[in-house]
Amino acid sequence: MSLTSDMDASIDDQAARAAWLYYVGGLTQDQIASEMGLSRQRAQRLVSRAVAAGLIHVRLNHHLARCVELEAALRARFGLVRCRVMPGLGPSRDPVRSIAPAAAEEMERVLAENGSRVIALGTGRALRGMVDALSPVEAPQHRLVSLLGNIALDGSASYFEVIMRLAEKVRAPHYPMPVPVLVDSVEENRTLQSLGAVRKVRGLAQAADVTFVGVGQMSEDAPLMTDGFLTADELHEIQRVGAAGEVAGWIYDRQGRYLDLALNARLTGVRVEIATPERPVIGIAAGEAKIVALRAALTSGIINGLVTDEPTAAGILAG
Amino acid sequence: MSLTSDMDASIDDQAARAAWLYYVGGLTQDQIASEMGLSRQRAQRLVSRAVAAGLIHVRLNHHLARCVELEAALRARFGLVRCRVMPGLGPSRDPVRSIAPAAAEEMERVLAENGSRVIALGTGRALRGMVDALSPVEAPQHRLVSLLGNIALDGSASYFEVIMRLAEKVRAPHYPMPVPVLVDSVEENRTLQSLGAVRKVRGLAQAADVTFVGVGQMSEDAPLMTDGFLTADELHEIQRVGAAGEVAGWIYDRQGRYLDLALNARLTGVRVEIATPERPVIGIAAGEAKIVALRAALTSGIINGLVTDEPTAAGILAG
DNA sequence: TCGCCGTATGGGCAAATACTCACGCGCACC
DNA sequence: GGTGCGCGTGAGTATTTGCCCATACGGCGA
């Protein structure tokens, strides 16, 4: 009513303002409607739009005893440098929802550092959730680098894009891996790897100060297969030789030792094997299906940091 | 005591879990109830308890265009190093509610730095709100120091305690100013100031890397008066000589120049005059009544950082 | 042991919120 | 200029939530 400037405000501005009044101000949608001169319906739509667009972030400020216990147990058993366990949301819900805010906090922790860091990133739904949950912060002092491309065999960019989104939020220089994840032949791979641009990105990724990766399972619902990088037959063959999980496309066994597969020669991405306390590799993953893959990666130290949820943490420790 | 605190802890745990499922998981209270094996009513109570206890933090990740404009204008006009303008909540709501989360973010920004910093703090409702809105972070590398005491003339500790609360949340060493805000005579003040403990805290405060202060108005509702540090007569006399506002008890005129008052000799706290880009002084304040005081403090650079709300920002710029 | 009092609990109900649907407007394509 | 499509809107409705109240439980003093 008195706020005439609302008239020309963009829809997102209005949504943000409505959500602000609703969540922070504690007004009802009726009050928001009269405050902003809208119908109650519209106020409701704005609020729900703001939530859907991720304008509103909710975080829990309380360390649940059970989660803290699991964190401590994981830290002790696998010598982790970072570990967060978030409450589960029940079996039918996407666990990414639960771990994304915590993963975002870990990322913010890195971004808040003053010195210039090289941050390497994998791909996947969990990392994408992390980036979506991240608060925009100006952190141009850091460099972001991809461990692998985001182009599938057929040329589509269906794989979850992480690095560009993140770079947009933090305004940092970024170095995507400018190649497909997987190529058709060893020769093609050799050609690509010899390119200066590729060599530069690889070099940067290998020198990363901190690395964030998803962890893929090698069961029937393996991301490598659902994303079209492996056929069902290939998957079964790889399962047969002991595949337990995969980080950035590189497949390892139940002890977390990378397998020597024909596939490897066609993978273009950087293999993660640098996890040390000074250069941590943080795994972001949760879900029943990923327990085996996570336990293996933790056992050999492919990852030495973990953000997961309660049932997954319990599952890892149960083995 | 341990038994009751265990009870409280487990109740808080339950509350946190319920709120997590509600806000992050998006379950209804019915679903939470069956998930956790409770009645719906209990689930509802847990969620509302979690919100009331501040276990849940909601933040808006969208810089409203109007607020961004105001921020830019304030930055440009007063050469601010930090500036946040949050949307207003309407005239009848407490503006502290609006600015507290943003102020908390500024504080978190400082706390997230790796190096050891000295953080000086004033008192007041706004700072208290900031601390309440702060996420607990372990930041033991920093030192927290008070600019002034929190004891009134009559010995009561009615002034809003900030430093202890903050120290509790971040587990940092803290140095409260161990004296009343105001003493009866110049001699008493001299005696107090000569104490080793006081000198040490003053020295630390003067060397602060960053300072957070509230800003008090000198109108009829001046905090200095309502908190019992000034009588109405004293206030009127000080108004007559041009008082515009006050930071940590030290009164300045409309140009932001500290006034030479008899009162000064009885003030025990540290006068803030160190604002530089390297050692910023951030003012946390909002409200119609504080516009004049804020404009003055910004003009002379007593503060070079600001967290306020939209109407206040507009009011400052209008003058 | 009894009765009182404070506190926690679940049922019921009114308010608030989310969802669905039909309509209307503008726009583009025919 | 007509027509169909898509988007946004408001009305109506189902669901969810917040609040009040009667009641049960447990501690405590008489």
pLDDT in tens, B188-198: 999 999 999 99
Distance of CA A58 to the CA centre of its chain: 18
Contact A128, A99 (CB under 8 A): no
Footprint of strand C on the protein (CB under 7 A): A 22, 28-30, 40-41, 44, 47-48; B 38-39, 41-42, 45
Q: Which two tokens stand for residue A278?
A: 């000074």
pLDDT tens-digit map of B16-58: 999 999 999 999 999 999 999 999 999 999 999 999 888 999 9
The Cα–Cα gap between B303 and B21 comes to 42
The Cα–Cα gap between A112 and B117 comes to 15
The Cα–Cα gap between A167 and A178 comes to 16
Worst-scoring range by mean pLDDT, B4-8, B17-21, B102-106, B252-256? B4-8
The Cα–Cα gap between A128 and A161 comes to 7
Residue A176 DSSP SS3: coil
Query: A222: burial class by Cβ within 10 Å (0-12, 13-18, 19+)?
Result: buried
Tokens 């990724």 locate to: A205
Give CATH 3.40.50.1360 domain extents, chain B: 65-318
Q: Closest Cα to residue B311, out of B297, B291, B293?
A: B291
Give CATH 1.10.10.10 domain extents, chain A: 4-52
Count how many pairs of residues, chain A against chain B, have C-beta atoms within 8 Å.
Answer: 131
pLDDT averaged over every residue in chain A: 92
The Cα–Cα gap between A90 and A65 comes to 18
Residue B15 DSSP SS3: helix
> What per-residue confidence (pLDDT) applies to A155?
67
Q: How confident is the model at residue B139 (pLDDT cuts 50, 70, 90)?
A: very high
Contact B271, B281 (CB under 8 A): no
Q: How confident is the model at residue A156 (pLDDT cuts 50, 70, 90)?
A: low
> Taking the domain B2-52, which CATH number applies?
1.10.10.10
- Given the candidates 3.90.1150.10, 3.30.300.30, 3.40.800.20, 3.40.50.1360, the CATH classification of the domain at B65-318 is 3.40.50.1360
The Cα–Cα gap between B266 and B189 comes to 6
The Cα–Cα gap between A80 and A172 comes to 28
Strand D bases within 7 angstroms of protein beta carbons: 9-12, 15-20
Mutate to test the interface with A, among B6, B14, B20 (most CBs of A within 10 A): B20
Give CATH 1.10.10.10 domain extents, chain B: 2-52
* Strand-pair partners of B245: B217, B252
Assign domain A4-52 to its CATH architecture: Orthogonal Bundle (1.10)
- Residue in chain A nearest B135 by alpha carbon: A61
Contact B317, B295 (CB under 8 A): no
Which of A9, A13, A55 minimises the CB distance to B61? A55
pLDDT tens-digit map of B142-185: 999 999 987 776 666 665 789 999 999 999 999 999 888 999 89
> What per-residue confidence (pLDDT) applies to A159?
62
DSSP B182: B
Which of A50, A62, A97 minimises the CB distance to B24? A97
CB within 8 A of A28, min separation 6: which ones?
Answer: none
**B134 CA: distance to closest CA in chain A (Å):** 9
The Cα–Cα gap between A290 and A259 comes to 18
The Cα–Cα gap between A18 and A40 comes to 11
The Cα–Cα gap between B228 and B202 comes to 24
Tokens 């360390």 locate to: A63
Q: A135: which chain B residues are within 8 Å (Cβ-Cβ)?
A: 59, 61
**B121 CA: distance to closest CA in chain A (Å):** 22
